[in-house]
């Protein structure tokens, strides 16, 4: 595009904020009462990771969730109003496969250092608490983004789990890229919530590099 | 047809534009029309854009709202709806509304937005199916994309009776020099460009050239994608608004555009029934003269 400098972030936004937030209401309504279970799933996955065998269960669960969110939310809903998301949906399927392979192999032999796990716990807690963002921003609770159903809390929770369980390098790119993409979208939508996926995308890999516990696998 | 309460409510907001007696209850007739130079056909001077506002996906509530907007648009006498394969789900949402409303008069304005002849043909056919129309009234090359390939293809479709008019679009002042060259060298029925009270570059060359060459002009971004109406939301409407029968800033902005003699149709987009009625109502009553147009522009700039 020769005239790229004439574009602003909003020019790439092809849907209104109302359409965006209502997608979560549609998802929550269609999958009710799953939204009630989502935050508990995030916390359970975090706790499971504290044991090696539990970590395999957590990674397997995440694999299923990435496949589900990619198909139900990205492919069937979000992609319809934003064609760029159609390209992201197969990446969610890829992430599901990578997580399933990691679950089959088991997590890192060496336990990640405690500060790294603590950073992971913060992200998992954030993912579990994500539904509160809607009422905090003055949106109805029906539009809450829920771990296991909405992509942002699922990706942020996954980064937290990877910090706690010590997943291999191959598991990181898709959740990090999604968080950056979503942060850009939220920024263009004009909401400060953009800071959360952005912070997760920067902080999680930084924490993983800083407190390198186990050698990278997978 | 008896004027039931429901019919009356449907009509009431447009009543100001309706010259009685009405030919058909749902078609007020006093809407300002403009003539397409290449054919002599008249079209109502305010149309309906669909970028963002109609990209609502499969959301049943928002789809119904878009159908309501279309219903109010047709009821007020509007005919021209503009869309593009670039606009996400806007095309199926238009199709959804058309299937329910079955309007008597529709002027379908679509675009081709791809490279390559066969990709263009396939895209146009897919768009046609999504709208659910037998053929489009107007096909435009979106943002000049691969116009060297697409424009001759559209001309051939026109010759074969598969489309009635051919055009090309740009927006936000991009590539005006190239557009000017195309307007000089190619046979176009329509050109679409951005023009509003603040973005007036087209006045210098493109609008006079369109008038000169007999090319109809569709005006996109009349409200700068809503930035103008939002910025003016709290500003009081100056006294001159009464002189041109504008009751809102949106109407004043549209009347500024329609007052340019080269403009054929302005195509504001909206997701709201009250706004679409307000916008259609701008195509009635007096338009500002040269001096008042400058005053409107200056007043908006000063705010
Ligand atoms: N390159 C191209 O070919 C190209 C580029 C740009 C645009 N276009 C076409 O031109 C159309 C119009 O341009 P646009 O959609 O970018 O911008 P626009 O029509 O200037 O502005 C649309 C915005 O104005 C608001 N609005 C509409 N009527 C209003 C009223 N009466 N009072 C207050 N606010 C009002 C709408 O909000 P509400 O929903 O709240 O009413 C909407 O957000 C597009 O939809 C598209 O069809 C083509």
Q: Using CB atoms and an 8 Å cut-off, which of residues 158-217 of chain A contact chain B? A: none
Is pLDDT at B17 greater than 70 in this prediction?
A: no
Q: Answer yes or no: is pLDDT of B15 > 60.
A: no
Residue A48 has pLDDT above 50, yes or no: yes
Q: What is the DSSP letter of A16?
A: -
Q: Is B52 on the interface with A (CB under 8 A)?
A: yes
Alpha carbon distance B102, B160 (integer Å): 26
- CA B41 to chain A, closest CA, distance in angstroms equals 33
- Does the distance separating the beta carbons of B172 and A6 come in below 8 Å? yes
pLDDT average, residue stretch B21-25: 40
Pocket of ligand 1 contains residue B225 by CB under 6 Å: yes
The dihedral formed by the CA atoms of B139, B145, B147 and B149, expressed in degrees to the nearest 10? -100
Q: Which residues contact B223 (CB under 8 A, 6 or more apart)?
A: B196, B229, B250, B253, B268
What gap in Å lies between CA B151 and CA B139, rounded to an integer? 9
Is residue B273 within 6 Å of ligand 1 at its C-beta? no
Residue B11 pLDDT more than 60? Answer: no
Structure tokens at B228: 């103008």
- Is the Cβ pair A14, B58 closer than 8 Å? no
Q: What per-residue confidence (pLDDT) applies to A9?
A: 66
pTM of the model: 0.90
In sequence order, what DSSP letters do the residues of chain B get, joined into one string? ----HHHHHHHGGGGGGPPSSPSSTT------EEE-TTT--EEESB-BB-TTTT--TT-HHHHHHHHHHHHHHHHTT--EEE--TTSTTHHHHHHHHHHHH--S--EEEEEE-SSSHHHHHHHHHHHHHHHT-SSEEEEEEGGGTTHHHHHHHHHHHHHTTSEEEEEEE--TTTTHHHHHHHHHHS--SEEEEE--SS--GGGTTHHHHHHHHT-EEEEE-TTTTTHHHHHHTTSPPPTHHHHTT--SHHHHHHHHHHTSTT--EE--B-S-HHHHHHHHHTSSS----HHHHHHHHHHHHH-
- Using one digit for the tens of pLDDT, what is the confidence trace for A76-125? 999 999 999 999 999 999 999 999 999 998 766 678 899 999 999 999 99
Interface contact A77, partner B, CB < 8 A:
yes
Q: Above 80 in pLDDT, residue B219?
A: yes
pLDDT band at A216 (very low <50, low <70, confident <90, very high): very low
- Does A72 touch chain B if contact means CB atoms closer than 8 Å? no
| Average pLDDT over every residue of A40-56 | 92
Distance between A22 CA and the closest CA of chain B, angstroms: 8
Q: What percent of chain A has pLDDT over 70?
A: 91
Residues of chain B with pLDDT > 70, as a percent, come to 90
pLDDT of B12 over the 50 cut: no
A-contacting residues in B 165-204 (Cβ below 8 Å): 172-175
Confidence class for position B10, pLDDT limits 50, 70, 90: very low
CB-nearest partner of A14 from B59, B61, B88? B88
* A6–chain B Cβ distance below 8 A for any pair: yes
Parse chain B into domains and list their residue ranges.
43-302
Residue percentage of chain B with pLDDT more than 90:
89
Among B221, B227, B234, B276, the mutation site with the greatest number of ligand 1 atoms within 8 A of its Cβ is B221
Return the pLDDT at A4. Answer: 56
**Cβ within 8 Å, pair B62-A26:** no
Query: Average pLDDT of A39-63?
Result: 93
> Quick check: B26 pLDDT over 60?
no
- Mean pLDDT of the residues in chain B: 91
Is pLDDT above 80 for B24?
no
pLDDT in tens, A124-143: 999 999 999 999 999 999 99
**Closest partner residue to B174 among A3, A19, A23, by Cβ?**
A3
Mutate to test the interface with A, among B55, B57, B177 (most CBs of A within 10 A): B57
Nearest atom (ligand 1) to Cα of A16? 43
Rounded CA separation A70/A186 (Å): 19
**Would you state the pLDDT for residue B223?**
97
| Nearest ligand 1 atom, CA B249 | 32
Mean pLDDT in residue range B236-240:
95
Average pLDDT over residues A20-24: 98
User: Rounded to the nearest whole angstrom, what is the distance from the C-alpha of residue B195 to the centroid of ligand 1?
Assistant: 12
Q: Does B62 touch chain A (CB under 8 A)?
A: yes
- In the prediction, which pLDDT does B23 show? 39
pLDDT per residue as tens digits for the range B188-216: 999 999 999 999 999 999 999 999 999 99
B214 Ramachandran zone, left/alpha/beta (phi>0; psi -120 to 50): left
- Write out the two tokens for A179: 């968080």
**Domain B43-302 fold:** TIM Barrel (3.20.20)
Sign of CA dihedral A208, A209, A211, A216: positive
Nearest CA to ligand 1 atom 9: B220
Residue A19, chain B, CB below 8 Å: the answer is yes
Residue A8's pLDDT band (boundaries 50, 70, 90)? low
Residue A110: the pLDDT is 77
| Helix or strand (DSSP H, E) at A157 | helix A151-165
**Interface contact A22-B175, CB threshold 8 A:** no
Q: Which of B13, B46, B47, B51 to mutate to test the pocket of ligand 1 (most atoms within 8 A of CB)?
A: B51
- pLDDT at residue B261 above 50? yes
Query: Residue B297 Cα, ligand 1 centroid: separation in angstroms?
Result: 19
* Residue B150 near ligand 1, beta carbon < 6 Å: no
**Domain residues of chain A, as ranges?**
15-210
Give residue A213's pLDDT: 58
Taking CA atoms, A54 is separated from A100, A105, A111, B150, B184, in Å, by 14, 13, 13, 59, 71
């Amino acid at each position: 595009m020769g005239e790229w400098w004439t574009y602003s972030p909003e020019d790439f936004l092809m849907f209104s904020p109302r359409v965006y937030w209502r997608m979560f209401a549609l998802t929550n309504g269609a999958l009710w009462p799953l939204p009630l279970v989502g935050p508990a799933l995030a916390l359970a996955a975090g706790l499971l990771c504290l044991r090696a065998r539990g970590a395999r269960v957590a990674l397997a669960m995440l694999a299923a969730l990435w496949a589900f969110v990619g198909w139900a939310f990205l492919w069937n809903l979000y992609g319809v109003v934003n064609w760029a998301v159609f390209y992201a949906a197969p990446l969610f399927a890829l992430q599901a496969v990578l997580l399933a392979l990691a679950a089959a192999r088991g997590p890192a032999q060496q336990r990640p250092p405690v500060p790294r796990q603590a950073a992971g716990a913060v992200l998992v807690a954030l993912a579990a608490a994500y539904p509160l963002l809607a009422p905090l921003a003055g949106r109805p609770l029906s539009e809450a983004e829920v771990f296991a159903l909405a992509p942002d809390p699922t990706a942020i929770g996954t980064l937290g789990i990877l910090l706690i369980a010590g997943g291999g390098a191959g598991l990181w790119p898709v959740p990090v890229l999604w968080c950056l993409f979503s942060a850009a979208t939220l920024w263009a939508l004009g909401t400060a919530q953009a800071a959360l996926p952005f912070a997760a995308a920067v902080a999680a890999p930084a924490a993983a590099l800083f407190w390198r516990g186990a050698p990278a696998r997978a | 047809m008896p004027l039931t309460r429901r019919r009356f409510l449907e009509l009431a907001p447009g009543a100001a534009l309706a010259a009685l007696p009405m030919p058909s209850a749902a078609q007020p007739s006093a809407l300002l029309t403009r003539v397409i130079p290449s054919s002599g056909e008249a079209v109502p001077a305010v149309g309906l854009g669909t970028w963002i506002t109609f990209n609502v996906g499969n959301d049943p509530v928002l789809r119904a709202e878009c159908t309501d907007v279309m219903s109010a648009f047709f009821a007020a006498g509007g005919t021209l709806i503009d869309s593009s394969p670039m606009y996400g789900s806007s095309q199926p949402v238009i199709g959804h509304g058309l299937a329910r409303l079955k309007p008597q008069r529709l002027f379908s304005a679509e675009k081709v937005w791809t490279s390559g002849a066969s990709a263009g043909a396939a895209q146009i056919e897919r768009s046609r199916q999504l709208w659910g129309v037998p053929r489009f009234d107007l096909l435009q090359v979106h943002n000049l994309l691969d116009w060297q390939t697409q424009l001759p293809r559209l001309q051939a479709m026109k010759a074969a009776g598969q489309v009635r008019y051919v055009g090309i679009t740009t927006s936000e002042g991009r590539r005006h020099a190239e557009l000017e060259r195309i307007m000089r060298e190619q046979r176009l029925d329509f050109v679409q460009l951005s023009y509003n009270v603040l973005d007036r570059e087209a006045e210098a060359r493109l609008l006079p050239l369109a008038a000169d060459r007999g090319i109809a002009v569709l005006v996109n971004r009349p409200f700068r994608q809503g930035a103008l109406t939002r910025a003016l939301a709290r500003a009081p409407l100056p006294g001159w608004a009464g002189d041109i029968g504008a009751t809102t800033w949106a109407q004043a902005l549209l009347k500024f555009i329609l007052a340019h003699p080269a403009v054929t149709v302005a195509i504001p987009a909206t997701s709201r029934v009250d706004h679409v009625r307000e916008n259609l109502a701008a195509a009635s009553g007096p338009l500002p003269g040269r001096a008042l147009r400058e005053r409107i522009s200056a007043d908006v700039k000063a705010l």
